[in-house]
Amino acid sequence: MAPRTVCRSAVLGSLALALLAGPAHAAEDRTDAGASSAALPAPDPAALAARLRTSLAQGAPGAMARIDDHRLSHDDHATVYKAMEGVADRGTAEPMDAADRFRIGSVTKTFSAVVLLQLAAEGRVRLDSPVDHYLPGLLPDDRITVRHLLSHSSGLYDYTSDLFARTVPGFEAVRTRVFTYRELLDLSLRHPLTQVPGAGHAYSNTNYVVAGLLIEELTGHPVRTEYENRIIEPLQLSDTFYVHPGTGIPGRYARGYLTPDEAEAPLVDATEQTVSWAQSAGALISSTRDLNTFLSALLGGRLLPAARLAEMRRWIPAGTGQAYGLGLRRRDLSCGVSVYGHTGAVQGYYTYAFTSEDGRRSLTALANVSNNGRVHLTMLSTLEPAFCGKRAKEDGAAVLPYPAEEDDLAQ
């Protein structure tokens, strides 16, 4: 880990408010319910910090959150709220820092979906064409379309259910292993489809493994090149990397800790790993600043034409108070506001990255632990003080249902 220059006593348990520069964002056409950011209540930074502290009491070594709020600005500046609690490294007791990078798990899926939707805008792929049109003979059912992949409605079995049936042994078996996309798909195809394609939302990492294969087939480039050329470099995301099959995180970062299945067993440092079991489904590295920039640009209409962004927001039910589009989650909060983004779980890290309907207020929160349902639910509830402020219900976590899929890996 790169050395830090921040004083522990100045950061641990602190809450900072600063003005930083950020891009202006154009409003999108609203295609579903949700208050515009102009109507959002002000964030409640104290309540946000309190939820992070709760996650520490529940077993997270550290937690942090960042809000970028353009709600009150009339220029290209944003108000930035940062909250940090606990440690980024249990061995050295170095404090969590807002600049730390981390593994973002399935927030990667939103990046992958953006690439495919850009390719659709270029006429290089059709969302309602069968995947077999582009990758002949790959899948067991030629009714599975590109849209089915991106919306998790294909019925392809999630191979991670087998890989990580036992949490720590499963992880150690793949920590340094390098898979091909087709090897991962083969693990899925040992099982029959879980549903008729298009029948409904059935989350499966296999969908985004096939999406990665499709990106590489359509472009002739590795997914890393497409992430960099289409998203990372245009948005100047200086903390965002796809290092697969490398095992390290560049620069300064928070270490990640995996909770064993056995009660009272010590946490396992899971920081170094290939994440080859996830790749285009969950292997990106980023920071709170970069994820807020990415989601603000996406919902603000800077990454996709309006028609393609509308496709991304064609929702199918995915549980009480939530829905899934194309690589994008919608969550409906206690104050009537809807927010858009994705959750991410990869060994050692829980990530929550969401933005308002127009992209003008964004939150990214991170706990450096995984396989801990109590921490997950608490961190998910950080959306309430970030977007509902003091209008958030005291039991805000209760209105954010906890589907089992979100505590699985790469969710």
pLDDT at residue number 74: 59
Q: Using one digit for the tens of pLDDT, what is the confidence trace for 86-120?
A: 999 999 999 999 999 999 999 999 999 999 999 99
Least confident among 10-24, 200-214, 222-236, 365-379: 10-24
pLDDT at residue number 411: 53
Above pLDDT 90, what percent of the chain? Answer: 82
Structure tokens at 266: 């010590």
**Alpha-carbon gap, residue 80 to 68, rounded angstroms:** 5
What are the residues whose beta carbons fall under 8 Å from the beta carbon of 152, sequence distance 6 or more?
201, 202, 203, 204, 207, 324
In degrees to the nearest 10, what's the CA dihedral of 222, 228, 229, 230? 100
Confidence of residue 394 (pLDDT cuts 50, 70, 90): low
pLDDT at residue number 32: 55
Q: Using one digit for the tens of pLDDT, what is the confidence trace for 308-318?
A: 999 999 999 99
Q: Which long-range contacts (CB under 8 A, 24 or more apart) does 371-374 make?
A: 371/167, 371/258, 371/259, 371/260, 371/261, 371/347, 371/407, 372/58, 372/59, 372/60, 372/259, 373/402, 373/407, 374/58, 374/59
pLDDT at residue number 30: 35
What's the predicted TM-score (pTM) here? 0.90
8 Å CB contact between 186 and 75:
no
8 Å CB contact between 302 and 22:
no
Q: Which of 106, 154, 370, 381 is catalytic?
A: 106
Confidence of residue 347 (pLDDT cuts 50, 70, 90): very high
**Alpha-carbon gap, residue 331 to 129, rounded angstroms:** 29
HSE, side-chain direction, 13 A CA sphere, residue 239: 19
Confidence of residue 77 (pLDDT cuts 50, 70, 90): confident
Structure tokens at 109: 């899926």
**Alpha-carbon gap, residue 152 to 371, rounded angstroms:** 22
Structure tokens at 104: 């973002």
Question: What is the average pLDDT across 231-244?
Answer: 98
Using CB atoms within 10 A of its CB, is residue 255 exposed (0-12), middle (13-18) or buried (19+)?
buried
Question: What is the average pLDDT across 373-378?
Answer: 97
Is there a catalytic annotation at residue 106? yes
Which residue is listed with tokens 């899925």?
Answer: 188
pLDDT at residue number 73: 60
Confidence of residue 78 (pLDDT cuts 50, 70, 90): confident
Question: What is the average pLDDT across 41-56?
Answer: 97
**Alpha-carbon gap, residue 261 to 165, rounded angstroms:** 10
Question: What is the average pLDDT across 289-311?
Answer: 98
Provide the 10 A C-beta neighbour count for residue 53.
16
Question: What is the average pLDDT across 224-253?
Answer: 98
pLDDT at residue number 406: 52
Identify residue 321 by its one-letter amino acid code.
G
pLDDT at residue number 7: 32
CA 8 to chain centre: 28
Interstrand relation of 369-370 and 257-258 (parallel, antiparallel or unpaired): parallel
**Alpha-carbon gap, residue 379 to 366, rounded angstroms:** 8
pLDDT above 90 (res 75): no
pLDDT at residue number 19: 29
pLDDT at residue number 39: 81
Least confident among 47-51, 240-244, 390-394: 390-394
pLDDT above 80 (res 15): no
Q: Using one digit for the tens of pLDDT, what is the confidence trace for 320-332?
A: 899 999 999 999 9
pLDDT above 60 (res 6): no
What integer best gives the mean pLDDT of the chain?
89
Confidence of residue 12 (pLDDT cuts 50, 70, 90): very low
**Alpha-carbon gap, residue 174 to 283, rounded angstroms:** 13
Question: What is the average pLDDT across 223-232?
Answer: 98
